[in-house]
Amino acid sequence: MKIAIIGCGNMGLAFARAFLKFDLVKKEDFLLVEKGEDRMEKLSSFQPGVITGVIGPQIGTYDLIILSVKPQDFPSVQEALRAVITPNQVVLSIMAGVTIANIQTVLDHKAVIRAMPNTPAMLGMGITAYTASPEVDMTQLRKVENLINATGRSVFLEEEEQLNAVTALSGSGPAYFFYVVKAMIEAGKKMGFEESVAALLVKQTMLGSFHLINTADKSLDELIKAVASKGGTTEAALKQFEAGNLDETLIGGILAAQMRSKELSKG
Ligand SMILES: NC(=O)C1=CN([C@@H]2O[C@H](COP(=O)(O)OP(=O)(O)OC[C@H]3O[C@@H](n4cnc5c(N)ncnc54)[C@H](OP(=O)(O)O)[C@@H]3O)[C@@H](O)[C@H]2O)C=CC1
Ligand SMILES: O=C(O)[C@@H]1CCC=N1
């Protein structure tokens, strides 16, 4: 399969690397479109078939076009892409909040898959939810699904609207996790540890706890209870979290992310 990627930043490149790792695409079958000079230089080590700063007619010869620019940069590629896109191509967009209908209209192109991955895709440990316009046939959908699965796991959604919630939950989710880890490391530093020691304590705690969630035959409440002894240290921390409505704050933040995704959908 020949793939053109428009916007080769964090996610565009993570996708390209994952496809290569699983031999789903040959290096020479990539066309990478990128704006930044320094970024283009970085891409050359990747040795793709073509690296370019402009969208030209050659794009029409690729099977799949991945749109991985920021939503606000999408207008900068629309006109050029609309002029060269061909009917048999499939567009895969990972842009937050940009709807299939919008992409179809501005590109005058019907076969569009919209997906929302997350940054663990860089390690092949991402989760991507996706949906497709009816004009994407089953063979095309399966091929793209295989590509997405090289970046981790995936889930097909019937309702495109749900991608706003996915964006808020798992798309942005890694940042919430890093935020909590960072705060815990800060607490460790405040208690007198070197950053490296605090980071080791926190990271291993998060890793082990994640595996407990996945393997222990206990609910999250039971897992919390198993740590929090009556009258003990954990209870003191949890009381403080509750007093500050930490769970409500987190839920509110995630709903704000969903709202932002909906706003982006309106253009
Ligand atoms: N980061 C994440 O966790 C996730 C991001 N997404 C979505 O993925 C998309 C990409 O995000 P991310 O990879 O983080 O962003 P990046 O900024 O890292 O990558 C986007 C790249 O596109 C380049 N670009 C901008 N305009 C053009 C253009 N006209 N032609 C070619 N290249 C262009 C940018 O260059 P320059 O920097 O010079 O502008 C940049 O290098 C976004 O739409 C985002 O919503 C989805 C899921 C998760
Ligand atoms: O913050 C954003 O808009 C993108 C979408 C999900 C993660 N990053």
pLDDT value of residue 37: 82
Does 252 map to a domain? Answer: yes
The Å distance, Cα 192 to ligand 2 centre, comes to: 35
Count of domains for the chain: 2
Does 167 map to a domain? Answer: no
pLDDT value of residue 216: 87
- Degrees to nearest 5, angle at CA 237 with 231 and 240: 110
Does 164 map to a domain? Answer: no
pLDDT tens digits, 37-51 = 888 888 887 777 899
Q: Give yes or no: residues 120 and 179 share one domain.
A: no
Does 244 map to a domain? Answer: yes
pLDDT tens digits, 118-131 = 999 999 999 999 99
- Ligand 2 neighbourhood includes 167 CB (under 6 angstroms): yes
Stretch 175-204: mean pLDDT, rounded?
A: 98
Residue of 122, 167, 259 to test ligand 2 pocket, by largest number of atoms within 8 Å of CB? 167
Does 168 map to a domain? Answer: no
- Ligand 1 neighbourhood includes 58 CB (under 6 angstroms): no
Q: Give yes or no: residues 123 and 244 share one domain.
A: no
Window from 125-129, 205-209, 261-265 with minimum mean pLDDT: 261-265
Please indicate if the annotation marks 7 as binding a ligand.
Answer: yes
- Ligand 2 neighbourhood includes 12 CB (under 6 angstroms): no
- Whether 267 shows a pLDDT value over 90: the answer reads no
- Whether 62 shows a pLDDT value over 80: the answer reads yes
The last residue of one of the domains, among 109, 129, 158, is 158
State the Cα–Cα distance between residues 218 and 238, nearest whole angstrom.
19
Q: Are 140 and 34 in contact (CB under 8 A)?
A: no
Domain residues for the domain of 132 are 3-158
Please indicate if the annotation marks 146 as binding a ligand.
Answer: no
**CATH number for the domain that contains residue 64:** 3.40.50.720
Q: In the 8-state DSSP scheme, what is residue 133?
A: -
* Mean pLDDT of the residues in the chain: 96
Stretch 200-229: mean pLDDT, rounded?
A: 96
pLDDT value of residue 45: 78
